[in-house]
Amino acid sequence: MNNSIAFISDLHIKKLDRASDFRLTDDEFHEFLAALLKDHKFVVIVGDLFEAWQGRWPTRECAIEEIKKTKVAFPKSIKLINENKKLILVYGNHDVILSEIQLIKKRPINEFSLNDILAYHGTYDFINKSMPKTSMFFSWCAGLLEKKFGEDADEKIDIFFKGLGFRLFNSMAQFKEAKKKAMNNDVRYVINGHTHQAMVKTFYSGGKQRTFINTGKFNHKVKDVTILNLDTGVVTQNSTIHKSRLKEVKSRLKKGDIILSKLSSAPVSEAISWVTKGEYSHTMMYVGDNRIIESVSYGIKYNLVDK
């Protein structure tokens, strides 16, 4: 086991329907969580484990009903979350109902604090902070659209609001609050979820270097995992991303990023994964301008990310 902490957030788990963003099975999610818990000192879910606001109606009673349905749909995973003391559960704005009524055995907390680390969901944009009920209503409306037009309907709406700058304003508000928290609590690392935009950003305050981290999101298409090594202080963000999210991947790549891949249809790729007992078979480095550099059988070559 490594002396490190793994952070994930914004899973939005609910009983499977057309509005579900999380489409891993109970067995798949349980296996993933168990592997993280085996490899790290702690695993922290930084809010929005559940999606409570896309039930029949945008009411407290329906939110409770949604989480009860999810417990039935994910019994192995919920049992692991409840019973493993290494797993820390922080509540977010989509499952804040857990802070009011004990729907699962493990009571979620508002903040996780350890040494110079502070993790909380980070709901500091104007709508969620000032008008939480309005935000819940918007989430319910997004669920209605997904049930009608499919799981990607809310993402198209999100792209529209992102174009208007809402995502940018949300991230700016979150970062501003994180800097205050870092100073007031004298911590080196401030970790948030909520915006679904994974990032690591270094800043200076109070004469010290500090780090703001957003843990991104976790579902069947994008699996963002942030690892903080407690010995070295090194932060690593890993994303397993479905090919349908290639456009999003390209927009997030920076020079020097390492890309791990596996081609299930290629026998050699499958053989490498089998022999090494690993999830991936090939490593590449992003060098900018939509290009990667990789090692192949005949030497080093450049390629396009799209390829």
Taking residues 42-64, report their average pLDDT: 92
The rounded mean pLDDT for the chain is: 83
pLDDT, tens digit, 9 for 90 and up, residues 228-242:
999 999 998 887 765
Binned at pLDDT 50, 70 and 90, residue 132 comes out as confident
| pLDDT score recorded for residue 163 | 47
Indicate the pLDDT class of residue 206, thresholds 50, 70 and 90: confident
Predicted structure pTM score: 0.77
Strand partners, 237: 226
158 vs 27 pLDDT, higher one: 27
Which comes out higher in pLDDT, residue 55 or 161? Answer: 55
Distance CA 199, CA 252 (A): 9
Q: How confident is the model at residue 265 (pLDDT cuts 50, 70, 90)?
A: very low
Tokens in use for 56? 């029949």
**d(C-alpha 23, C-alpha 223), whole Å:** 12
Could you state, in order of their start, the residue ranges of all structural domains in the chain?
Answer: 2-241, 258-304
pLDDT at 299 (0 to 100) = 66
pLDDT at residue 288 is higher than 70: yes
* pLDDT at residue 87 in the model: 97
| Strand ranges inside the chain, DSSP E | 2-8, 40-46, 87-90, 112-114, 117-119, 189-192, 199-205, 208-214, 222-229, 235-241, 258-261, 282-288, 291-296, 299-304
Positive/negative CA dihedral, 156, 161, 167, 173: negative
Q: How confident is the model at residue 189 (pLDDT cuts 50, 70, 90)?
A: very high
- Phi and psi based region of residue 12 (left: phi greater than 0; alpha: psi -120 to 50; beta: remaining): left
Is residue 86's pLDDT more than 60? Answer: yes
Please, which contacts does 111-114 make with residues 24 or more away whose CB atoms are closer than 8 Å?
Answer: 112/44, 112/46, 112/88, 113/185, 113/187, 114/5, 114/42
9 vs 21, residue with greater confidence: 9
Tokens of 290: 């939509």
Better pLDDT: 264 or 30: 30
Q: What six digits make up the tokens of 240?
A: 């397993």
Neighbouring-strand partners of residue 114:
117
Q: What confidence score (pLDDT) does residue 283 get?
A: 87
98: its two tokens: 């857990």
CA dist 93 and 53 (Å) reads 9
- DSSP letter at 50 equals B
CA–CA dist 98, 62 (Å, integer): 13
| Residue 251 vs residue 83, higher pLDDT | 83
Distance between CA 274 and CA 280 in Å, rounded?
10
Fold of 2-241: Purple Acid Phosphatase; chain A, domain 2 (3.60.21)
Side-chain-side CA neighbours of 182 within 13 Å: the count stands at 24
Statement: residue 178 has pLDDT above 70: yes
Residue 75 above 50 pLDDT?
Answer: yes
pLDDT given for residue 65 in this prediction:
92
Q: How far apart are CA 241 and CA 304, in angstroms?
A: 17
Lowest-confidence region among 56-70, 74-88, 259-273: 259-273
Q: What phi and psi, each to the nearest 5 degrees, are found at residue 92?
A: -120, -170
User: Between 305 and 11, where is the model more confident?
Assistant: 11
Average pLDDT over every residue of 264-268: 58
106-130 tens-digit pLDDT: 989 999 999 999 999 998 666 776 7
Q: How many CB atoms lie within 10 A of CB 194?
A: 26
Q: Which amino acid is at 191?
A: I
Quote the percentage of the chain above a pLDDT of 90.
40
pLDDT at residue 164 in the model: 47
* Longest alpha-carbon distance in the chain: 63
Please determine, for residue 184, whether its predicted confidence score (pLDDT) is greater than 70.
yes
